[in-house]
């Protein structure tokens, strides 16, 4: 598989410390962690911090204004709001923790078993989890309250059970994903027992996502508990955030400010939990999509390199960089492809060959940009041109054949639809004319039953057929140039030979120029007229194919060709030659 | 010649199909193969040929529905997990993808200690053995405390090889161990495998889609096609003068890294395909 | 497609059978001394026995169950233990109110969430950061607190909207809209945040797929590429919409109390306070039916959008 986005050099930071240090280095993560810590501290130290007993009421303090004695004022019974807020936090946090524990006690083991063993347990527990999620939680709580009594703690345990499917699904999905990893197979071959595999391998993987999930669940529980108490289902004597909101609601005409503090406390606690979770998620999936602006930074206007006009494609001094230009992966590459010429761009993974090919199409992955150089098609510059101009070039004058056949077809659209769309856009054909053209194309690329393939969805055809479909798509508007990015690498060798035959025929028939990216010298020898060898973002050798194979000039080319296995004697022949036994 | 280390007879593997009363999918249709101590048997075929399934069945990772797998004269086709634990000392594996065959959250030291630890090796002894193993696969000593993801593909595959050899097995199933590697790395990993075989006397069942790789490392070669073994014999013969039409097609389909010879090769392939099509037609009529 | 539909309908039916049955058995199995609760401590044992017989809770549980199911088929959901009102007609009018605010909020929030999520995924930058903030705020702010703030500020202080009550559309469309605006806004915020976040995530996932690069390489106009992306990204987003719908039904319980809307949630709250078991049972039955239907519609939409789902 070609490495599209260059991976930064491995660092010496071990994985676990990595996650924690990433959270600690994320300012939002630190702020939210500190906020959480303060909330927990205030809750634990409520007895010390509160100005007075939360239940002590005084007629003088009914709706008392904010004062030194009552920093947040007094409520309808003349009780101190700050004291009630601090003590109320105990009820909120305890209730939420109970619900979280209940959900984990059920969800974690069930998820582990269902994900690891699958089969009947999986079907039954997934069905049960669907049932639990079929009703609005609050309705279940109201209904079961008539059964199990009015205790808020019972309600929170029930709520935990209702939330268990969340943990269950998360664990199950993670575990069943890991279940098929080869390192689990290796552990099985080593004879590790299931318990050990679950403890050593599965729990490690589940841990991070589960902590993240738990933070979110805690926030939900805090809110739902307050909600229950707001509806009047708590103990009205005990101070809690929900009952304070209920009192505020009952006195909304006299003292609307009473609504403010408990709500704010709820909001801040949940927000801190959500931020911790989000910071943890970012740390866990480092490198995943961050809110960065997708900038297709255009290269400076051509002029850094003169563009000769006789070549079909000319690239001059091309530089490609990632991470805002700080990591350069292509260091000044120049190449020409003449009309009707097949040029092989050869290199190992990370050599930058795919980056060069994608630069021509202006389709570098997110974060990549051409920082300088010039690219021209038949003398016409391509870099820095408008998106609408490039759209008339791509697909129409330059065809693109990707590497993985199946992942390059849209799974939701019929094949015929995907191909006729292109010819309709570029050639302005009618629906019927486009259909005829696509059917002809499908026949031309050697698909046995074009009409059936036209109607098929991508998952209904084989990889070899899919690659023929993609080739049909690339040549559908009679382009002058083909960019082929490892077009046979994902295929079986017998299929590869057929596809190479097809490409050669099409190339000769239509006089196409081809930029053929590959790592395989056999494929180069089969189809390329000229070869460019790339290493670490630079072209180290350039010449006619025969010369490269016969008399390679650069050490790197020689070492690459030297490491080829073809041409070396077979093992048995070597054994026979030395008379060496089989060890 | 020593007796066969591994003897597979008429092996059938079927995977249950999804859906009510669906026919199970038969991945292997009665395959027989044997591996002697200290030799490499190459198993070559394309996707869907069943070559990987055969390797996995021997390792206990695929359901055996018929036939027998004998390892050192013990039937292991239906070995329990406990028996597998005993077998782990003698039968090991190196997988294709060095990126997913090592747990990303474990250090190289943890990974290499795991098999030792199962067989009850003490901590200190295990440490010494891990150091020795790293040396054997030519990895630096400080690799112990580093995570697998910090290494390149070739280095990871060395870790996987070290894990497989930790218990001094008699047979290692190598499932496409160099397919995911760059060309220059492929040869060095293959040379390491050969070197280790010569010094340790381990046997390999070497699964690959690449005739060139199989030729380079195998004493004997077996060719699989659609769940059946179509040809087997001495490595140099099967990979240069094959008899079965499929092996002939396979051989000529692999491009030769030399433009002039490849042109001739291509012409030969077209001739062969035309010839085989004609024969098929005659057989059909 | 037919097999896929049959499977989804089967799953829906199993939920429809199991959830209300379990609820019934739990609630009525525990209702033996309901009569005592209704009549209070001063009632004589004879009065209690007579009331039990009147309510039918003195019969064996299975008899009550069979009787209830039998009555269901003639559209009879029983009567309230307290007001003796027929539950069927009581809930019919209340379901209208709940569905008006819930569906209204889901429609508006889904449209808004798709627009926001798609724009954030395509443009990134400030809009994307704003969406991240909204996601956290929308998740963390308790919906009923938001409703309280809306009532206290927009309705009571500024008098822009009525604070309580529901006006039927047929009575006055203008007042109808005014009466449901604040409830819908209160229900929407969390939903928009959650769904927009999911839409953004799945659009970004799809944008990184190989086939999107290939579509671009074919020189298709942007809107055509976006159409491809949307079709592939909408299935996971719709799944979240279905879950959000259930969450919004929960939220409606609070909103109906705060705005004094005579909906299912308010009926359930009052019934739970009194222990009016048949009314809660009716609410459970109606809500389960609504949820199953909505899930079915969403499954159908996902199946239409994604050929792989309906064929596997």
What local confidence, expressed as pLDDT, does residue B284 receive? 75
Helices (H), chain C: 2-29, 34-39, 45-55, 61-73, 87-123, 125-140, 143-150, 173-207, 210-217, 222-258, 264-274, 277-305, 307-311
What local confidence, expressed as pLDDT, does residue C50 receive? 87
Domain boundaries, chain B: 1-90+170-239, 101-166
Which residue ranges form the domains of chain A, and what is each CATH number?
A: 81-285 (1.10.3720.10), 297-551 (3.40.50.300)
Among A249, A271, A410, beta carbon nearest to C211: A410
Write out chain C residues lying below 8 Å of A232, CB-based.
273
The C-alpha angle C20, C26, C29, rounded to 5 degrees, equals 125
The C-alpha angle A263, A265, A267, rounded to 5 degrees, equals 70
Among C128, C210, C295, beta carbon nearest to A291: C128
pLDDT band at residue B121 under the 50/70/90 scheme: confident
Q: Is the pLDDT of residue A289 over 90?
A: no
Higher pLDDT, A536 or A580: A536
Among A493, A495, A573, beta carbon nearest to B254: A493
Can you state the angle between helices A137-148 and C222-258, rounded to 10 degrees? 30
Q: Which residues contact B284 (CB under 8 A, 6 or more apart)?
A: none
pLDDT band at residue B6 under the 50/70/90 scheme: very high
Backbone dihedral region for residue A299 (phi beyond 0: left; psi -120 to 50: alpha; all else: beta): beta
Q: Which two tokens stand for residue B255?
A: 């491009």
Write out chain A residues lying below 8 Å of C216, CB-based.
361, 363, 394
What local confidence, expressed as pLDDT, does residue B22 receive? 72
C159 lies within 8 A of chain A by CB? no
Q: Do A394 and C217 touch (CB under 8 A)?
A: yes
Q: Do A274 and C136 touch (CB under 8 A)?
A: yes
DSSP A447: -
Q: What is the mean pLDDT of chain A?
A: 86
Chain B CA closest to residue A546: B259
Half-sphere exposure of A418 (CA within 13 A, CB side): 30
B24 lies within 8 A of chain A by CB? no
Q: How far away is chain B from the Cα of A546, in angstroms, using its nearest Cα?
A: 6
Separation CA A259–CA A257 (nearest Å): 5
What local confidence, expressed as pLDDT, does residue A579 receive? 63
Chain B CA closest to residue A581: B198
Phi and psi torsions of A310, nearest 5°: -75, -25
Q: Do B115 and A190 touch (CB under 8 A)?
A: yes
Work out whether the CA dihedral C100, C104, C107, C113 comes out positive or negative. negative
Q: Which two tokens stand for residue B198?
A: 């010569």
Alpha-carbon Rg of chain B, whole angstroms? 20
C128 lies within 8 A of chain A by CB? yes
Q: Do A404 and C273 touch (CB under 8 A)?
A: no
Identify which of C79, C108, C102, C82 has the alpha carbon closest to the alpha carbon of residue C91. Answer: C79
- Chains with 3+ CB–CB pairs under 8 A to B are A
Write the burial class of residue A372 (CB in 10 Å: 0-12 exposed, 13-18 middle, 19+ buried). Answer: middle
Q: Is the pLDDT of residue A4 over 60?
A: no
Phi and psi torsions of A230, nearest 5°: -60, -40
Instruction: For residue B207, list its beta bridge partners.
Output: B43, B175
Question: Residues A26-32: what's their mean pLDDT?
Answer: 85
Q: How far away is chain A from the Cα of B20, in angstroms, using its nearest Cα?
A: 14
Q: Do C254 and A230 touch (CB under 8 A)?
A: yes
What local confidence, expressed as pLDDT, does residue B231 receive? 95
Q: Answer yes or no: are the C-beta atoms of A480 and A445 closer than 8 Å.
A: no
Separation CA B8–CA A544 (nearest Å): 50
Q: Answer yes or no: are the C-beta atoms of A96 and A265 closer than 8 Å.
A: no
CATH topology of domain B1-90+170-239: Rossmann fold (3.40.50)
Q: Which two tokens stand for residue A484?
A: 């082929």
Q: Is the pLDDT of residue A14 over 70?
A: no
- Count A/C contacts: CB-CB distance under 8 Å: 227
Low-confidence stretches of chain C (pLDDT < 70) are: 311-312
Q: Is the pLDDT of residue B101 over 50?
A: yes
The alpha carbon torsion through A458, A463, A464, A467 (nearest 10 deg) reads: 60
What local confidence, expressed as pLDDT, does residue A61 receive? 74
Q: Which two tokens stand for residue B58?
A: 């021997």
The alpha carbon torsion through B28, B34, B40, B43 (nearest 10 deg) reads: -20
Question: Residues B101-122: what's their mean pLDDT?
Answer: 86
Chain C CA closest to residue A222: C142
Chain B CA closest to residue A495: B253
Q: Do C19 and A135 touch (CB under 8 A)?
A: yes
Residues C172-228 have pLDDT tens digits of 888 889 889 999 999 999 899 999 999 999 999 999 999 999 999 999 999 999 999
Instruction: For residue A313, list its beta bridge partners.
Output: A337, A377
Q: Is the pLDDT of residue B55 over 90?
A: yes
Write out chain A residues lying below 8 Å of C128, CB-based.
291
Write out chain C residues lying below 8 Å of A263, CB-based.
142, 145, 148-149
Residues A448-488 have pLDDT tens digits of 999 999 999 999 999 999 999 999 999 999 999 999 999 99
Q: Do C217 and A363 touch (CB under 8 A)?
A: yes
Q: Answer yes or no: are the C-beta atoms of B70 and B171 closer than 8 Å.
A: no
3-class SS of residue B137 = coil
**C52-56 long-range Cβ contacts below 8 angstroms, 24+ apart:** C55/C81
Separation CA A526–CA B257 (nearest Å): 8
The C-alpha angle C101, C102, C107, rounded to 5 degrees, equals 100
What local confidence, expressed as pLDDT, does residue A290 receive? 41
Q: Do C219 and A230 touch (CB under 8 A)?
A: no
Among A275, A412, A483, beta carbon nearest to C306: A412
Q: Answer yes or no: are the C-beta atoms of A211 and A278 closer than 8 Å.
A: no
Concatenating the DSSP letter of every residue in A489-500 gives TTS-HHHHHHHH
Which stretches of A402-536 are assigned E, i.e. beta strand? 481-485, 513-518, 530-535
Q: What is the mean pLDDT of chain B?
A: 90
């Amino acid at each position: 598989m070609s490495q599209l986005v260059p991976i930064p050099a491995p660092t010496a930071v071990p994985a676990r410390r990595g996650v924690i240090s990433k959270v600690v280095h994320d300012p939002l993560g630190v702020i939210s962690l500190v906020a959480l810590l303060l909330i927990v501290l205030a809750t634990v130290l409520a007895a010390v911090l509160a100005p007075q007993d939360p239940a002590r009421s005084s007629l003088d303090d009914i709706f008392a204004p904010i004062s030194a004695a009552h920093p947040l004022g007094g409520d309808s019974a003349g009780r101190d709001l700050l004291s009630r807020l601090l003590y109320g936090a105990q009820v909120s946090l305890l209730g939420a923790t109970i619900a979280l524990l209940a959900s984990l006690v059920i969800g974690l083991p069930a998820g582990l078993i269902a994900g690891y063993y699958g089969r009947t347990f999986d079907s039954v527990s997934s069905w049960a989890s669907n049932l639990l999620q079929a009703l609005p939680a609050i309705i279940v709580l109201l209904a079961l309250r008539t059964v199990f009594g009015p205790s808020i703690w019972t309600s929170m345990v029930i709520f935990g059970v209702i939330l268990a499917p969340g943990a269950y699904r998360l664990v199950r999905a993670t575990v069943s994903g890991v279940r098929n990893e080869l390192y689990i197979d290796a552990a099985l071959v080593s004879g590790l027992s299931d318990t050990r595999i679950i403890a050593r391998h599965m729990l490690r993987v589940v841990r991070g996502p589960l902590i993240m999930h738990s933070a979110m669940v805690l926030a939900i529980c805090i809110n739902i508990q307050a909600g229950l108490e707001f509806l009047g289902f708590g103990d009205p004597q005990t101070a809690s955030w929900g009952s304070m909101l209920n009192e505020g609601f009952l006195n909304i005409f006299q003292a609307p400010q009473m609504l403010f503090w408990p709500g704010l406390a709820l909001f801040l606690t949940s927000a801190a939990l959500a931020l911790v979770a989000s910071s943890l998620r970012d740390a866990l999936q480092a490198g995943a999509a961050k809110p960065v602006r997708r900038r297709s930074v255009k290269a400076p206007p051509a002029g850094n390199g003169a563009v000769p006009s006789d070549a079909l494609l000319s690239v001059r001094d091309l530089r490609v960089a990632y991470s805002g230009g700080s990591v350069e992966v292509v260091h000044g590459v120049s190449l020409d492809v003449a009309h009707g010429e097949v040029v092989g761009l050869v290199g190992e993974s990370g050599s930058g060959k795919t980056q060069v090919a994608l630069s021509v199409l202006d389709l570098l992955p997110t974060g990549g940009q051409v920082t300088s150089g010039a690219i021209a098609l038949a003398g016409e510059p391509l870099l820095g041109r408008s998106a609408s101009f490039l759209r008339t070039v791509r697909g129409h004058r330059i065809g693109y054949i990707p590497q993985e056949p199946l992942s390059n077809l849209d799974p939701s659209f019929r094949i015929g639809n995907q191909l006729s769309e292109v010819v309709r856009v570029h050639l302005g054909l009618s629906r019927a004319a486009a259909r005829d053209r696509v059917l002809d194309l499908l026949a031309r690329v050697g698909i046995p039953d074009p009409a059936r393939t036209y109607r098929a969805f991508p998952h209904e055809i084989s990889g070899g057929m899919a690659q023929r479909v993609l080739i049909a798509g690339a040549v559908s508007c009679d382009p002058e140039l083909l960019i082929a990015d490892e077009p046979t690498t994902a295929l079986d060798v017998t299929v590869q030979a057929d596809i190479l035959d097809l490409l050669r025929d099409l190339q000769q028939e239509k006089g196409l120029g081809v930029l053929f990216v590959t790592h395989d010298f056999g494929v180069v020898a089969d189809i390329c007229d000229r070869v460019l060898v790339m290493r670490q973002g630079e072209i180290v050798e350039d010449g006619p194919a025969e010369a490269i194979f016969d008399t390679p000039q650069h050490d790197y080319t020689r070492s690459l060709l030297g490491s080829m296995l073809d041409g070396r004697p077979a093992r048995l022949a070597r054994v026979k030659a030395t008379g060496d036994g089989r060890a | 010649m020593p007796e066969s280390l591994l003897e597979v007879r008429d092996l059938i593997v079927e995977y249950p199909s999804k859906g009510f009363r669906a026919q199970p999918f038969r991945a292997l249709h009665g395959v027989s193969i044997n591996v002697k101590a200290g030799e490499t048997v190459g198993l070559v075929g394309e996707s869907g040929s069943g070559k990987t399934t055969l390797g996995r069945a021997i390792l206990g990772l695929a359901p055996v529905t018929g036939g027998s797998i004998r390892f050192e004269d013990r039937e292991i086709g239906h070995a329990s997990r406990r028996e597998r634990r005993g077998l782990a000392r003698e039968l090991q594996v190196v997988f294709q993808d060095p990126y997913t065959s090592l747990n990303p959250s474990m250090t190289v030291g943890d990974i290499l200690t795991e098999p030792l630890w199962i067989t009850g090796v003490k901590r200190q002894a295990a440490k010494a053995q891990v150091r020795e193993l790293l040396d054997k696969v030519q990895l630096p000593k400080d690799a112990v405390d580093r995570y697998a993801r910090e290494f390149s593909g070739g280095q990871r595959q060395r870790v996987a090889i070290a894990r497989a050899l930790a218990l001094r097995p008699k047979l290692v199933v190598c499932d496409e161990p160099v397919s995911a590697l760059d060309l220059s790395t492929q040869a060095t990993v293959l040379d390491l495998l050969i070197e280790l075989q010569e010094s340790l006397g381990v046997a390999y069942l070497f699964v690959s889609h690449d005739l060139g790789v199989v030729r380079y490392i195998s004493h004997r070669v077996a060719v699989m096609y659609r769940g059946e073994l179509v040809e087997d014999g001495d490595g140099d013969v099967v990979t240069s003068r094959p008899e079965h039409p499929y092996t002939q097609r396979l051989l000529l389909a692999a491009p030769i890294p030399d433009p002039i010879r490849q042109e001739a090769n291509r012409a030969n392939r077209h001739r062969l395909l035309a010839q085989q099509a004609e024969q098929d037609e005659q057989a059909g009529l | 497609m037919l097999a896929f539909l049959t499977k989804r309908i089967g799953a829906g039916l199993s939920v429809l059978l199991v959830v209300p049955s379990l609820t019934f058995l739990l609630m009525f199995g525990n209702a033996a001394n309901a009569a005592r609760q209704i009549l209070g401590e001063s009632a004589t044992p004879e009065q209690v026995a007579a009331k039990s017989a009147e309510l039918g809770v003195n019969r064996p549980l299975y008899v009550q169950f069979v009787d209830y199911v039998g009555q269901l088929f003639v559209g009879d959901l029983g009567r309230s233990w307290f007001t003796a009102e027929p539950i069927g007609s009581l809930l019919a009018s209340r379901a209208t109110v709940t569905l008006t605010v819930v569906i209204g909020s889901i429609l508006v929030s889904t449209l808004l969430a798709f627009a926001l999520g798609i724009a954030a995924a395509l443009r990134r930058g400030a809009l994307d950061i704003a969406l991240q903030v909204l996601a956290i705020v929308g998740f963390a702010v308790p919906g009923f607190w938001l409703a309280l703030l809306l009532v206290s500020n927009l309705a009571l202080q500024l008098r822009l909207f009525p604070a309580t009550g529901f006006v039927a559309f047929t009575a006055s469309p203008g007042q109808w809209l005014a009466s449901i605006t604040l409830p819908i806004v209160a229900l929407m915020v969390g939903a928009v945040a959650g769904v927009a976040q999911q839409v953004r995530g799945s659009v970004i996932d799809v944008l990184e797929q190989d086939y999107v690069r290939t579509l671009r390489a074919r020189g298709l106009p942007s809107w055509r590429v976006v159409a491809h992306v949307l079709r592939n990204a909408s299935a996971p987003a719709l799944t979240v919409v279905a879950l959000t719908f259930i969450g919004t039904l929960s939220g409606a319980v609070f909103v109906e109390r705060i705005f004094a809307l005579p909906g299912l949630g308010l009926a359930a709250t009052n019934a739970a306070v009194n222990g009016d078991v048949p009314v809660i049972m009716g609410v459970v039955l109606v809500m389960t039916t609504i949820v199953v239907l909505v899930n079915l519609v969403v499954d159908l939409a996902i199946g239409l959008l994604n050929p792989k789902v309906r064929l596997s």
